[in-house]
Structure 1
């Protein structure tokens, strides 16, 4: 098979001595995919390997790709992504893709951890209590998105104000305030989930701004889009690129 040396080396780093059944049943496909995903794509991005794996896991959750998630989870653990980091990605996904999608990934993650003799439950990472989650969440969202939630709370009709409260106490208070991932990583995996979902353009634009606020520049976001292209396909990739250029125009 004409798989490049770079592709072979990058694949081997993630999956040492893996015996791929698809190399036997679909050799032409593996040649195309491995050369693209493990060589060509990587020449046009600047993310370190563990961060690439974190956003890939987040993307696969959003797309409901359980089998590929489990394969990539093993690769992520092989290169040093920690069990705590993995669980935080899965937990945070609940706020952005919903429990209906996340539930299967909790079980898939636990299955891989059990196979690898990783003890469950993973150590807790919560930093809030029922009494503090709203204020800490509101403080966190203000740091990232300014007064967006405050404006929602002020401007929404009375029977809709609870959505602004939920954003503060649940989305940010329950998830973003947790230990295990820093703010830059949390915002980047949120961006990865949203562009992988499709149909969330206003939220993508909001989190592009949030990413910039926490220190993820345009090149980092371009790298994330590039790395995810083989998994999410061209339509969602090009939509994400257009949204990124709308919020952060290129200097011509």
Structure 2
């Protein structure tokens, strides 16, 4: 590649990144370009060019869903409240509803844990309080608690193809299994706000961000995404985006899972 070609590629990357982050931030000059000029000159350009030019502007996943994916990753990691606030605002700027954002965070409670979920909801609340409340954007309340187990069991069967008999086991594990079905699936994942496809996409983001220990849940959600009408490309784009927010190794591990699951689904050797 000639020096001129390299320069043109870098310019194109920056232009794509600027176009994407301007949509998210609604600012002509994104703040990240000047935020590190005193300690790390040029780092803002790297963020714009790499995160937003190379990754977040790729086709295959629409911008609102990408913002929910980022919210999912930052909620799960629980270590970047300022960036979570930025992307919650960005999600609103590109058309995500309040309920979609809240449901994304709530849905991840079984993966991220209660403390991370609580802290993420604090960030979300602060963002919402700073904006006027538009008509028709009211959240819906949860379903009645007495049907959580049945709703959770229905979702579990859809996710894993389990029967009622295999959902639990004998002894004390039965109580734990019932608690998980009611809380993680019936009490949270069964509520409205996100369609089945988007729930699987944000679950894939969370499991990828958590790394190798979440390989089996990641594989289940990859299969469930196809069952919910999603595509392999959407899974790939979700996992690739984790290279920005959770690190390249997590994305590599996630892509290995995508390859293995979808090759198996296609009848090819993993």
- Same fold per superposition (TM over 0.5): yes
Q: 1:99 Cα shift?
A: 0.3
User: Given the two structures, how large is their TM-score scaled by the length of structure 2?
Assistant: 0.84
Structure 2: distance between partners of 1:145 and 1:41:
31
Higher relative contact order, structure no. (Cα contacts within 8 Å, ≥ 6 residues apart): 1
1:134 is aligned to 149
Out of 26, 44, 51, the residue aligned to residue 16 of structure 1 is 26
Out of 79, 85, 91, the residue aligned to residue 94 of structure 2 is 79
Out of 83, 91, 100, the residue aligned to residue 115 of structure 2 is 100
Map Cα deviations across residues 92-128 of structure 1 (whole Å, 9 max, x no partner). 1112211021111111111111111348x953342x3
User: Given the two structures, how large is their TM-score scaled by the length of structure 1?
Assistant: 0.89
2:68 is aligned to 54
Q: 1:228 Cα shift?
A: 2.4
* Runs of 4+ that moved beyond 3 A: 18-21, 42-45
Q: Is the 8 A contact 1:14 1:76 kept in 2?
A: yes
2:197 is aligned to 184
Q: Is the 8 A contact 2:99 2:138 kept in 1?
A: yes
Q: Is the 8 A contact 1:91 1:175 kept in 2?
A: yes
Out of 219, 222, 229, the residue aligned to residue 236 of structure 2 is 222
2:5 is aligned to none
Out of 47, 64, 70, the residue aligned to residue 85 of structure 2 is 70
- Segments of 5+ residues of structure 2 without an aligned counterpart are 1-9
Aligned residue for 1:202, secondary structure, equals helix
Q: Is the 8 A contact 1:209 1:247 kept in 2?
A: yes
Structure 1: distance between partners of 2:241 and 2:121:
24
RMSD: 2.3
- Tell me whether 1:123 sits opposite 2:123 in the alignment: no
Q: Is the 8 A contact 1:45 1:226 kept in 2?
A: no
1:196 is aligned to 209
Change (3 A) 1:194 1:148: farther
Structure 2: distance between partners of 1:43 and 1:115:
28
2:51 is aligned to 37
- Segments of 5+ residues of structure 1 without an aligned counterpart are none
Aligned residue for 2:140, secondary structure, equals coil
Q: 1:87 Cα shift?
A: 0.7
Q: 1:47 Cα shift?
A: 0.4
Structure 2: distance between partners of 1:238 and 1:90:
24
Q: Is the 8 A contact 1:191 1:204 kept in 2?
A: yes
Q: Is the 8 A contact 1:225 1:241 kept in 2?
A: yes
Q: 1:143 Cα shift?
A: 2.1
Structure 1: distance between partners of 2:164 and 2:240:
31
